[in-house]
Amino acid sequence: MNAPASTTRPELAGHPHFHYRDGVLHAEGVALDKLAAELGTPLYVYSRAALAAALGSYRDAIGDRPVLVCFGMKANSNLAVLKEFARLGAGFDIVSGGELQRVLAVGGDPSRVVFSGVGKQAWEMRAAIEAGVMCFNVESQAELRRLSQVAHEMGQTARVSLRVNPDVDAQTHPYISTGLKENKFGIAIESALDAYRLAASLPGLEVVGVDCHIGSQLTDISPYFDALEKLLDLISQLAEEGITISHLDLGGGLGIRYTDEIPPSPKALLDGVFARLQARGLGHLHLVLEPGRSLVGNAGLLLTTVQYLKHAEARNFAIVDAAMNDLLRPSLYEAYHGLRAVRPRQGDEQEYDVVGPVCESGDWLARQRRLSVQEGDVLALESAGAYGMVMASNYNSRGRPAEVMVDGDKYYVVRQRETLADLIRGESTLP
Ligand code: LLP
């Protein structure tokens, strides 16, 4: 990896499918300056090989252990991404009827789908039962009753896990931490036994699993094991009551490298989990994982073009054509995304805030980065494959970006750029 010195960081750590060749950033075999010229910016670019490699690191870690990887598709639900994972044998973690529709649209196997989320509506439950999903991850007693009623009315049985909130601190950003008592997610571990008794008593339900998801972008592995120990206690208690659990779902959450993080590997996670299962005599349990970010985050970039350079008294601004509506993570979580010039220049570097055109001071993409740039230069925001396009909006009546998938030296537009006509479709004025 021979990244020129004039970009923001010395190397593209952890992003082997994006590299410099002859002074130009490439995705696999495709030069990104040409891609930007042809398709315009802002543009999301994904690497097919990077997707396969990320899933491959889970598969290699799994070996012949009974583990189902259900891609947490909220991280990136483009059909081309889903199709690739379906083809490679992954299942899916869905959180809405809309996500179910996407899985079915790419021929995903419903028997490898888990349905998560705190607010499932009756129509979504019906659609998922009809499709034959593997399991509902239920988050409250009220939801258990609703699901029981829906399934019973359909003359069907819905398989359920209860999402248990183990009250562990995932030590991540408060907005993406979900396993603490004060979060809206799951059923408190102290009430879990009662909820299971209810589930076992209701018609139309079959209890099959225990589920948790403690947070996202975890860079420390110990919270997983803290949560796991609590869930294993619960599984033993359930067994004493005659409630048999066949699978354990540990959710998603493995972090990725945005800057200098060293997140735990799938192997470290799985080895630790199975060692603990074995130690408790629970080695027969099937494991479900719901990774989102770690399967797609570093498989995508967002390309953007510098519109203007503005040298204000306190700061230098590079005003680019992407904005918070295209990539919300910096504004929402003060998230760091690596930034590189697609064709780095050798000239003097200055410190810039890279900001978008949206009318909000919070509309920034990168802050205090040393860059040598000119108007018209194309920049790449790294690690944008997860929670990028899926969180894009039309704020300021901006069309959402196009998405393209690179495969070797070929590329495919997998979502068209939204047009101005798209933006007003469905609206009307009064007669
Ligand atoms: N399973 C459940 C029940 C979840 O709530 C989530 C993510 C996942 C799996 C996938 O987690 P992952 O492997 O991606 O960490 N928008 C935020 C992240 C929100 C995560 C929400 N839940 C961000 O951009 O950082």
179 annotated to bind ligand:
no
In a domain, 401, yes or no: yes
d(CA 147, CA 153): 10
In a domain, 190, yes or no: yes
d(CA 120, CA 147): 9
C-alpha of 133 from chain center = 20
- The residue nearest atom 8 of ligand 1, judged by CA position, is 252
**CB crowding 147-183: b at 16 or more within 10 Å, else e:** bbebbeeeeeebbbbbbbbbbbebebeeebbbbbeeb
Element (H, E) at 153: helix 141-153
Q: Name the domain boundary from 294, 329, 345.
A: 294
- Token representation of residue 328: 């919300």
182 annotated to bind ligand:
no
Cβ(27)–Cβ(301) below 8 Å: yes
Same domain for 54 and 77, yes or no, is: yes
In a domain, 180, yes or no: yes
360 annotated to bind ligand:
yes
- The residue nearest atom 16 of ligand 1, judged by CA position, is 387
Q: How many domains does the chain have?
A: 2
d(CA 118, CA 185): 7
Residue 150: CATH number of its domain: 3.20.20.10
Same domain for 189 and 215, yes or no, is: yes
Candidate from 58, 74, 99 with most ligand 1 atoms within 8 A of CB, to mutate:
74
- Per-residue confidence (pLDDT) for residue 10, from 0 to 100: 41
Q: What are the pLDDT digits (tens) for 237-252?
A: 999 999 999 999 999 9
Same domain for 87 and 217, yes or no, is: yes
- Structure-token match 């920049």, residue found: 379
Same domain for 205 and 73, yes or no, is: yes
Same domain for 75 and 186, yes or no, is: yes
- Per-residue confidence (pLDDT) for residue 3, from 0 to 100: 38
Position in ligand 1 atom list of the atom nearest CA 75: 14
Kindly list the protein residues whose Cβ atom lies closer than 6 A to any atom of ligand 1. 72, 74-75, 93, 116, 176, 213, 216-217, 251-254, 290-294, 329, 333, 387
Same domain for 289 and 310, yes or no, is: no
In a domain, 249, yes or no: yes
Position in ligand 1 atom list of the atom nearest CA 328: 24
Torsional class of 132: left (φ above 0), alpha (ψ -120 to 50), beta (otherwise) = left
Q: Name the domain boundary from 268, 294, 320.
A: 294
Q: What are the pLDDT digits (tens) for 277-306?
A: 999 999 999 999 999 999 999 999 999 999
Position in ligand 1 atom list of the atom nearest CA 215: 15
In a domain, 134, yes or no: yes
Q: How long, in residues, is the chain? A: 431
In a domain, 9, yes or no: no
Same domain for 305 and 290, yes or no, is: no
In a domain, 321, yes or no: yes
Q: Name the domain boundary from 226, 261, 294.
A: 294
- The residue nearest atom 18 of ligand 1, judged by CA position, is 176
Same domain for 367 and 287, yes or no, is: no
Cβ(43)–Cβ(392) below 8 Å: no
Same domain for 360 and 245, yes or no, is: no
Distance 76 CA to ligand 1 centre (A): 11
Distance 291 CA to ligand 1 centre (A): 8
Candidate from 69, 177, 216 with most ligand 1 atoms within 8 A of CB, to mutate:
216
132 annotated to bind ligand:
no
Position in ligand 1 atom list of the atom nearest CA 293: 14
- Per-residue confidence (pLDDT) for residue 180, from 0 to 100: 67
- Per-residue confidence (pLDDT) for residue 175, from 0 to 100: 65
- The residue nearest atom 7 of ligand 1, judged by CA position, is 216
- The residue nearest atom 24 of ligand 1, judged by CA position, is 387
Query: Which parts of the chain have pLDDT scores under 70?
Result: 1-14, 174-177, 179-180
Residue 403: CATH number of its domain: 2.40.37.10
Same domain for 135 and 194, yes or no, is: yes
Same domain for 278 and 219, yes or no, is: yes
- The residue nearest atom 6 of ligand 1, judged by CA position, is 252
- Per-residue confidence (pLDDT) for residue 1, from 0 to 100: 32
Position in ligand 1 atom list of the atom nearest CA 329: 24
Rg over alpha carbons for the chain, rounded to the nearest Å, is 23
- The residue nearest atom 23 of ligand 1, judged by CA position, is 387
Distance 96 CA to ligand 1 centre (A): 14
- Per-residue confidence (pLDDT) for residue 5, from 0 to 100: 36
Distance 5 CA to ligand 1 centre (A): 34
- The residue nearest atom 5 of ligand 1, judged by CA position, is 213
Position in ligand 1 atom list of the atom nearest CA 297: 14
Structural domain of residue 225, as residue ranges? 48-294
Same domain for 278 and 336, yes or no, is: no
Distance 185 CA to ligand 1 centre (A): 12
Candidate from 138, 185, 211, 293 with most ligand 1 atoms within 8 A of CB, to mutate:
293
Q: Any idea which residues carry the catalytic annotation? A: 359
Distance 283 CA to ligand 1 centre (A): 27
329 annotated to bind ligand:
yes
333 annotated to bind ligand:
yes
d(CA 31, CA 29): 7
**Residue 386: closest CA among 33, 29, 44:** 44
411 annotated to bind ligand:
no
Residue 331 has, within 13 A of its CA and on its CB side, a CA count of 20
d(CA 111, CA 109): 5
In a domain, 431, yes or no: no
- The strand pair at 364-371 and 24-27 is best described as unpaired
